[in-house]
């Protein structure tokens, strides 16, 4: 069994690789460090990730950051025909990557993370109510493409098979619901379906922050 080590717990980004590891039924060790505790600022961690962010995956001498890149690598390196998180054919893989990049750039970075910075983390990044409102509106507009994909009738975003696109998308839908951004019924039922997966329940446990941690 490979020596997989995952750094980071407690966030919508860290749950992605935990979830992928459980979908792929891999054994791994967790280093349960959290943002804004000082744990991402240590010399040891900065040596691994100069960006001082979680999640980080170590697989032997490979050190990988960025949640969606980690999910992709894990599936490519360890996916079996029944567990892989990407379609095997080039076009299917491209479509899945297209969704992953869309989710990470449009839903996460441009919408939800803007809200996170200027709401929960406004003591660090400043108050910006109009940026918050615009980000919520933008999120809802971008979600129309998700609604349309689901209208095509598949159980998952690319049809009948759960893929990395569902994994990353679901973490953003859950995040939006937590922030009170309106999400339509078809997307909510889709998200219930996806988060009912046993691997998600295990990922939630693996991603739980240690009791008593203080974040600044």
Ligand X SMILES: N[C@@H](CCC(=O)N[C@@H](CS)C(=O)NCC(=O)O)C(=O)O
**In contact, 86 and 96? CB cutoff 8 Å:** yes
Residue of 4, 24, 54, 172 interacting with ligand X (CB under 6 A): 54
118 touches ligand X by CB under 6 A = no
176 touches ligand X by CB under 6 A = no
36 touches ligand X by CB under 6 A = yes
**Helix ranges (DSSP H) in the chain:** 15-23, 43-48, 67-78, 90-102, 113-118, 122-125, 129-151, 164-178, 185-195, 198-206
Joined together, the tokens standing for residue 169 give: 């998308």
CA atoms lying within 13 Å on the CB side of residue 111: 21
18 touches ligand X by CB under 6 A = no
Cβ proximity to ligand X, 53 vs 93, nearer residue: 53
- Cα distances from 93 to residues 76, 81, 106, 155, 166, in angstroms, run 11, 14, 20, 18, 13
Residue of 4, 22, 35, 176 interacting with ligand X (CB under 6 A): 35
40 touches ligand X by CB under 6 A = yes
11 touches ligand X by CB under 6 A = yes
Residue of 6, 7, 9, 13 interacting with ligand X (CB under 6 A): 13
Beta bridge partners of 5: 29, 58
User: Closest distance between ligand X and the C-beta of residue 73, in Å?
Assistant: 13
66 touches ligand X by CB under 6 A = yes
Residues that bind ligand X (CB under 6 A): 11, 13, 35-36, 40, 52-55, 66-67
């Amino acid at each position: 069994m490979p020596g997989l080590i995952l750094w980071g717990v407690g966030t919508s980004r860290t749950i992605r690789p935990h979830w992928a590891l459980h979908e792929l039924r891999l054994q791994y060790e967790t280093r349960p460090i959290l943002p804004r505790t000082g744990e991402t600022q240590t010399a040891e961690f900065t040596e691994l990730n100069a960006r001082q962010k979680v999640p980080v995956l170590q697989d032997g001498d490979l050190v990988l950051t960025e949640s969606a890149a980690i999910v992709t690598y894990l599936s490519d390196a360890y996916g079996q025909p029944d567990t892989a998180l990407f379609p095997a054919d080039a076009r299917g893989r491209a479509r899945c990557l297209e969704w992953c990049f869309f989710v990470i750039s449009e839903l996460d970075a441009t919408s939800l993370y803007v809200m996170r910075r200027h709401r929960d983390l406004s003591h660090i990044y400043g108050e910006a109510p109009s940026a918050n409102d615009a980000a919520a509106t933008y999120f809802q507009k971008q979600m129309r493409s998700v609604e349309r994909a689901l209208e095509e009738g598949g159980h998952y975003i690319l049809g009948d098979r759960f893929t990395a696109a569902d994994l990353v998308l679901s973490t953003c839908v859950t995040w939006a619901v937590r922030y009170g951004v309106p999400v339509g019924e078809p997307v909510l039922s889709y998200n219930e379906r996806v988060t009912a997966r046993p691997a998600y329940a295990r990922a939630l446990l693996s991603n739980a922050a240690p009791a008593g941690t203080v974040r600044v």
